[in-house]
Chains A and B, each alone.
Chain A
Amino acid sequence: MAEKPWADMTADEKRAWRIDRWRNPPIEFKSPEAEADYKARLDRLIAALEMRVPDRVPVSLNTGFWPALSAGLTPYESMNDPARARKAWIDFNSRFQPDAMSDPVHYTMPGAMFEALDYKLYSWPGHGVAKEGSYQYAEKEWMLPEDYDHLISDPSDYMLRVYLPRTAGAFAGFSQLSSLFDFIELPFVSGHLGGWGSPEMLAGLERLGEAGRLRNAWWNETAVPVIEKLISLGFPSYRSCGTKAPFDILGDTLRGTKGLIMDMFRRPDKVLAACERLVQVAVDWPLKRPVGPATPVVFIPLHKGADGFMSDEQFRTFYWPSLRKMLIGLIDEGMIPFCFAEGRYNARLEAIMDLPKGKTVWLFDQSDMARAKETIGTVACLEGNMPLSLLYAGTPQEVAAHTRNLIDVAGAGGGYILDIGAVADEGNDENLAEMIKTAKEYGVY
């Protein structure tokens, strides 16, 4: 392919470029067999993602701390012992041989990094949650109702000078900063710099530096070695970046569930304006960064639009329009949006069909897969639906039967990736092995 300027490329050309990069990672394979495995696995995934028929149903594992627990580590230990964490994740993939790697990126960051930040949005193992537990979000109105206009007018400025000081102690001094536009004219600079020299700011910058150092140490000691090793062994990375639906950005960690629900009645226009404003922010979020994403698959956890959270009318009014625009924006950049529909999405299956064919993948947790196949499954790849409860407390026979059923129902005609419906922090290894074995035998097309 002749190298065109990025801006001149069509969406399909951008996507082809990204897929080509995904197929040819800058890493040396351990052996020609490992390279062949890598390509076979990736081609299997891509065929399913593009709604074609692969050689067999691909398997991805939506794991959280499972690899740690499987190796006898608590989540806390996996966050604080890089050598054992590395071994746990490499062993887990080597043992279960999934088509997409289970990586440790979102699960093994050291708690000390968040502690240096004084990060208030979440509890994590050993900090507000037991060492055996997983992360949990602390629901609160971090953004106040009167903040809407600031957020809508200048989202990044709002984040920098209002939201971050509230949600992480290391940013407290940022609340005393004036506008960054001060820097565009020399006479304004001196006034601005006062905020950077305040004692609170200086202490905060030290903490930020410490958090950054801890992050880089973890990245180099745990994340990168595991990912490189797994690629060299023939396991492709899958989801390499993430973003969120505009309504969820607002509803999860800005206004909070209750706050945003009140806003739907008290200030619906502001909610809609904010969602609209956040569309491009959410498209740029995974893309405009110093190093572009390693794979085209962008992870999008969907929360507040699930069944029960709102009516169909509310979904079509408040949730879907900005999400759809964001998905189209990502597709136009050659990305493959990976929509993780947590909980149940049975009431949404028709509404979400309004998408270009073969450009997205939907991981369903507890939705009805037969109906999903008839609806959204006609325009998008489906993934998931193995109940976490079954892997945790079922028998291998039950797991095998459920796997066969999923392959029959969701896998018919391709366009399906077998996966766990929910992020799995723990479960029965024997059941997981049975699921994968069944897919590899029964899932051959």
Chain B
Amino acid sequence: MQDLVEAMANMKEEEALQIVDEMLEKGENPNHILDLTSEAMRVVGERYQDGTYFLPELIMSGEMVKKIGEQLKPHLAARQDQAKKLGTVVLGTVRGDIHDIGKDIVGFMLEVNGFEVVDLGIDQPEEAFVQAVREHHPHVLALSGFLSVAFDSMKSTVEEVDAAGLRQDLKVIIGGGQMDETVRKYTGADAYGDDAMAAVAFAKKSVGVN
């Protein structure tokens, strides 16, 4: 494994930042460095999926990517060659709920697994989800919520997406806090997820990938 990938995947922050500095000094193509960080995130994602890593490593690696991004920014020309995405997911925490940690993990895991993620943020009203679905034509709408107040917000969000005629090619998954099969039925969602891996599996199934 490349040094940078290994340092990042093993949570060696200082080492990773130093390697990036050295690579830049040697005139390494910053786009190549960026590819290595993506590779490292893929490794972190795998380790999360196999139960070696947990929330701390996801947050820490996200922070490393941010810092490396800052290091690279002055060297980076605009890049057009985005890899082909598996599909698009619109994600957000529903109205009345301001929790974001669970939502962010789901977003992270979807991204490292090849999805384009449109993250609307927290406390999002029904209209915001309807608008985002209309605009981005996602394969999956992922609704996050921690509190019981989210039960009704999820239900009304699903209803409004339905009423706007946007449900035909769209799969809806809910997750977070108290979400389970009882709440799934109540909200009219297609699935609920216990964790970020469930969201990834659902999104893959929704676009016909294993």
Contacts and interface: CB of A to CB of B under 8 A. Distances in A.
A389 interface: yes
B55 A308 contact: yes
A309 B54 contact: yes
A258 B96 contact: no
Contacts of A265: 11, 13, 56, 60
A76 to B, nearest CB: 13
Nearest to A64: B148
A390 B182 contact: yes
Nearest to A135: B147
A308 B148 contact: no
B59 A393 contact: no
A132 B60 CA distance: 36
A259 to B, nearest CB: 10
Contacts of B182: 387, 389-390, 392-394, 398
Q: Majority SS of interface residues in chain B? A: loop
* Residue of B13, B149, B179 with most chain A CB atoms under a 10 A cut-off: B149
B195 A308 contact: yes
Contact of A388 (B54, B98, B99, B178): B178
Interface stretch (A95-103, A374-382, A421-429): A421-429
Contacts of A264: 56
Contact of B54 (A136, A262, A314, A389): A314
Contacts of B53: 311
A310 interface: yes
Interface string A361-390: 000001000000000000000000001111
A263 to B, nearest CB: 10
B63 interface: yes
A423 B110 CA distance: 30
A233 to B, nearest CB: 28
Given A308-B195, A310-B54, A393-B182, A261 B148 contact: no
A18 B147 CA distance: 35
A130 interface: yes
A216 B204 CA distance: 56
Interface string A414-445: 00000000101111000000000000000000
A357 interface: no
Contacts of A398: 182
A129 interface: yes
Contacts of B149: 132-134, 425-426
Interchain residue pairs A-B with the least CB separation, the first 7: A393-B186, A389-B182, A261-B56, A389-B183, A261-B59, A388-B178, A389-B180
Given A133-B149, A425-B148, 4 more contacts: A139-B100, A308-B195, A387-B180, A389-B151
28 contacts: A132-B96, A133-B96, A134-B147, A136-B98, A139-B100, A139-B101, A257-B59, A257-B101, A258-B59, A261-B56, A261-B59, A265-B56, A265-B60, A308-B54, A308-B195, A387-B180, A388-B178, A389-B151, A389-B178, A389-B186, A392-B182, A392-B183, A393-B183, A393-B186, A394-B182, A398-B182, A422-B148, A422-B177
Interface of A: 123, 129-130, 132-134, 136, 138-139, 257-258, 261-262, 264-266, 308-311, 314, 343, 366, 387-390, 392-394, 398, 422, 424-427
